Structure 1
Amino acid sequence: MIINEQIKASEVRLTGIDGEDLGIVSRSEALALAKRHDVDLVCLSLMSSPPPCRLVSRSAAKQDRNAQKREEKRKAQTPKEKEIRLTPHIEDHDYDTKLRQIEKLLQSGHAALLTVRAQSKESQQAKALLERLVSDLKGKGSKETGIQVSGKGAAVKIIPSE
């Protein structure tokens, strides 16, 4: 957010405190008007010429600036990857519970790493369980990696759908 003296344009399209259009005025005149009313001059966009600016109360400008910083900080955080462990001999009720847990993770924006611990002879059951989970989660998440089967189990990473 560009405010007051940070605005470098020689002329600005000015909007008043109550939203009234004040037309195109010089930067110095707009700054003097802002100082006279004890408000900030805030530039809304740099993409047009002259840039649209608005007179905003100091507390509102500060709140907007803080909200923008919080939003940038939230977007900069990487989504966490949570691991959900299963067994190939899972019962239906437990399966439904794990499915709801995975759906909550995906809705909150986290990725889910689904791992099935199995012995080598149960690896096909583990793969079938993961395929069932992936098909049940269609629309809520998608596979980032394919199902990886190893000697001690199988794993797949599911990321939230946009």
Structure 2
Amino acid sequence: MIKNEKIKASEVQLTGLNGEDLGIIATREALAMAKRLKVDLVCTSLMSSPPPCKLIGAGQAKQEALQEKQQARKLEQGPKVKEIRLTPQIEDHDLETKRQQAERILQSGDAVMLVVKISGKEGAKAKELLEMLLRDLSPLGRKRTGIQLSGKQAAVQLDPL
């Protein structure tokens, strides 16, 4: 972010405090206007000629740059995987609560790992339960892998759409 005297162009495309277009102005005049209004002259892009600049309140320019950095970092990290644990003998009300929890997680942009703890011959029942949840959650997410039965648990991961 280039501010005030560091702008080297001879003229700039100036935007006012309220977003109004002030046209192409000599950089010296734009700096004088910024000082008179007690604000900063900030260059938004160096890729065009004349470069577009805005008049922004002193603290606001730093805050905008910080927000852009935070957004970039958030997008860079990608979705988190949150696990929801179930049992094959789950009651209807509890299942509905877990479904709603999974919906909230998917809507917030994170992935959900649905894990059903099994013991003995409950594998078929667990797979059936996961298939039912996948059908219910299909408008919000798609499965990354198939249902995986391994030892004492059955699991499937849903990614947000």
**CA–CA distance in structure 1, aligned partners of residues 6 and 146 of structure 2:** 50
**CA–CA distance in structure 1, aligned partners of residues 83 and 127 of structure 2:** 17
Report 1:47-58 matches (<5 A): 47-58=47-58
Matched, 1:136 2:136: yes
Distance 1:134 1:20, change over 3 A: closer
**CA–CA distance in structure 2, aligned partners of residues 113 and 18 of structure 1:** 47
- How far is 1:95 from its partner? 1.2
- How far is 1:20 from its partner? 4.7
Equivalent residue number for residue 41 of structure 1: 41
Q: What residue ranges of structure 1 are gaps of 5+ in the alignment?
A: none
- Tell me the TM-score normalized by structure 1: 0.81
Q: RMSD across aligned C-alpha pairs, in angstroms?
A: 2.4
- How far is 1:8 from its partner? 4.3
Q: Secondary structure at the match of 1:17?
A: coil
**CA–CA distance in structure 2, aligned partners of residues 47 and 102 of structure 1:** 44
Report 1:1-162 matches (<5 A): 1-161=1-161
- Tell me the TM-score normalized by structure 2: 0.82
- How far is 1:120 from its partner? 5.0
CA distances 1:93-140 after superposition (whole Å, capped 9, x unpaired): 221111111112212222111111113522122111111111100111
Q: Answer yes or no: is the 8 Å Cα contact 1:123–1:150 preserved in 2.
A: no
Q: Secondary structure at the match of 2:103?
A: helix
**CA–CA distance in structure 1, aligned partners of residues 18 and 95 of structure 2:** 57
Q: Answer yes or no: is the 8 Å Cα contact 1:4–1:40 preserved in 2.
A: yes
Distance 1:17 1:119, change over 3 A: closer
Q: Percent identity?
A: 58
Aligned structure 1 segments of 4 or more residues deviating by more than 4 angstroms: none
Distance 1:51 1:114, change over 3 A: same
Q: Secondary structure at the match of 1:105?
A: helix
Amino acid at match of 1:87: T
